[in-house]
Amino acid sequence: MRDKENAFVRFCLRHDISANAITFTAISCIPILDYLLYIGLYEPAVILMLAIMFSDVLDGMVARAREDHLEGSGITPLGEFFDPMRDKLLIVSALYFMTWVPRYVFWTIAVAEGSLVLVRIAQFIALWLRGMKKFTVPSTNFGKRKTLLECIATVSYLLQVCRPEYVPLLSFCGAIPYALASLTMHTKAMFQTK
Assess contact for 30 and 52: CB atoms under 8 A: yes
Contacts of 150 (CB under 8 A, 6+ apart): 87, 91, 109
Q: How many CB atoms lie within 10 A of CB 92?
A: 20
Taking the C-alpha atoms of residue 111 and residue 114, their distance in angstroms, rounded to an integer, is 5
pLDDT of residue 159 exceeding 70, the answer is: yes
pLDDT for position 73: 55
Mean pLDDT score of the chain, rounded to an integer?
Answer: 81
pLDDT of residue 92 exceeding 60, the answer is: yes
Number of domains in the chain: 1
Mean pLDDT of 145-168: 82
Q: How far is CA 38 from CA 4, 6, 165, in A?
A: 38, 35, 23
pLDDT for position 136: 64
In whole angstroms, what separates CA 13 from the centre of its chain?
A: 20
Contacts of 93 (CB under 8 A, 6+ apart): 30, 33, 34
Top-ranked range on mean pLDDT: pick from 36-45, 57-66, 151-160, 161-170: 36-45
Taking the C-alpha atoms of residue 119 and residue 100, their distance in angstroms, rounded to an integer, is 30
pLDDT band at residue 1 using 50, 70 and 90 as cut-offs: very low
For every residue of 162-175, DSSP letters joined together read H-TTHHHHHHHHHH
Taking the C-alpha atoms of residue 121 and residue 34, their distance in angstroms, rounded to an integer, is 25
Quote the domain boundaries for residue 56: 3-191
Taking the C-alpha atoms of residue 135 and residue 127, their distance in angstroms, rounded to an integer, is 5
